[in-house]
Structures are given as C-alpha cells and as structure tokens.
Chains A and B, each alone.
Chain A
Amino acid sequence: DTGVSQNPRHKITKRGQNVTFRCDPISEHNRLYWYRQTLGQGPEFLTYFQNEAQLEKSRLLSDRFSAERPKGSFSTLEIQRTEQGDSAMYLCASRTDISYNEQFFGPGTRLTVL
C-alpha cells in the first residue's frame, strides 16, 4: 500500500498520560498536515510541515501538543498530559508542491482518553 499510513490505528489511554502518533506520508510528498476530527464534525487543521520545517500551527494546538518531522519524511504528533477533551480521530494528510494538488489522507489514529 503506497498511501498515507498512520500508527497506531487506535489508542486508549488514561487521563494525564502522554501519547505519540506516527504518520508516514506518500514518499514523494513534501507537504504534511495534521488534522483532528471529532464525532459529527469535519477535520480541523492542527499543524503543517513543508519538508522538515513546521510552518503553521493552529490555535487549537495547545502547548501540550508537539509535532515533529525530523528528516522531512515521517512525522510524529505527541500529546502530553492527555485530557478527555483530546479524544478524537487524528488524521494525517500529505501532498506534493503542485498547486491545488489533492491532499491524501491517512486512515487516522482514534484516541480515547479515559
């Protein structure tokens, strides 16, 4: 499968624990996006990378959230001191530099904070 992959697919954690998710974009895609989707809502933008540079962060991204893309390939999203309100589907998407090019989404990581 040459699409965007995400791991783990599901994560259940207790409030206060730290979690880390991984996204592997399509290999030639240098743009990578993280979104969060809660039940009954559309995906909401969290952060954007162009290669290894994090160029944009949403105000939704509190200081408990951090994202990296150290080598411009895979990316990780870490949530520290998780709260019940962090429960959501975390989606990763990637695309090329070509204008208006489609963003390809991964299957998402569903986080449940107990």
Chain B
Amino acid sequence: GENVEQHPSTLSVQEGDSAVIKCTYSDSASNYFPWYKQELGKRPQLIIDIRSNVGEKKDQRIAVTLNKTAKHFSLHITETQPEDSAVYFCAAIPNSGYSTLTFGKGTMLLVSP
C-alpha cells in the first residue's frame, strides 16, 4: 500500500517569511496529491491539490510542486500570515482502489507576528 512521509513535523516562521513542507510517497502509481489544512479543533480542509500530469500549481500565496521521478511533492507558502498557523497534511491517492487518502503525519506551522 501507499506510505506518505512528511517533514518537518513542526515549522516556526516569522510573519512574511516563506514556509516549505515536503512529502514523499512510495506508490509510483499514485496520481493525485491534495494538501489539507486543519486548524485546532476543526475539520481538515483542502487548500490545494495537484495531479500527476502537472509539475507545479499555484493559488495566490500557495504553491505545490511535484517530482514524479523522485516521488516527492512540496507545499510552498509565501508571505506567511498568523492565520496560516495550523497543521498541514499532505496526502496521496493511488491510481487503483477507491480514492482513499493516505495522509502524512502532519506539519504544525506556527507563524509569529
């Protein structure tokens, strides 16, 4: 089955800095990679996703890159703001099965004003 590793587990940055979170996956057949943001006590919410036929995707201050050869993908947040503080999860969906998400263990991002 799929295994997703996520680093770092905690990331502290100053407001305005950039933040990068990295994930690796094991199943070369995986073809969809969403990122979820989970604020304390709240439900996970999708912030950006990327398909395996695309190398990079941007949405305002957020971008995701995918390297299929190396089987890793990264989340980039620029100009961080205190409201970006949350736990971020990467996930992967294999090309087979029923689109069940395999999540990384999460990265707690702390943005200090």
Q: Interface on A for B, CB 8 Å cutoff?
A: 4, 31, 33, 35, 40-45, 48, 50, 55-56, 91, 93, 95, 100, 102-108
Contacts and interface: CB of A to CB of B under 8 A. Distances in A.
Contact of B106 (A41, A48, A100): A41
B43 A40 contact: no
16 contacts: A31-B98, A42-B91, A42-B104, A42-B106, A45-B101, A48-B98, A48-B100, A56-B98, A91-B44, A93-B101, A103-B34, A105-B36, A105-B43, A105-B44, A107-B42, A108-B43
Given A42-B89, A42-B106, A102 B100 contact: no
Task: Tell me whether chain A's interface is mostly helix, strand or loop, or mixed.
Answer: strand
Contacts of B106: 40-42
B45 A56 contact: no
Nearest to A47: B100
Contacts of A56: 97-98, 100
Contacts of A103: 34, 46, 99, 101
Task: Tell me whether chain B's interface is mostly helix, strand or loop, or mixed.
Answer: strand
Contacts of A50: 98
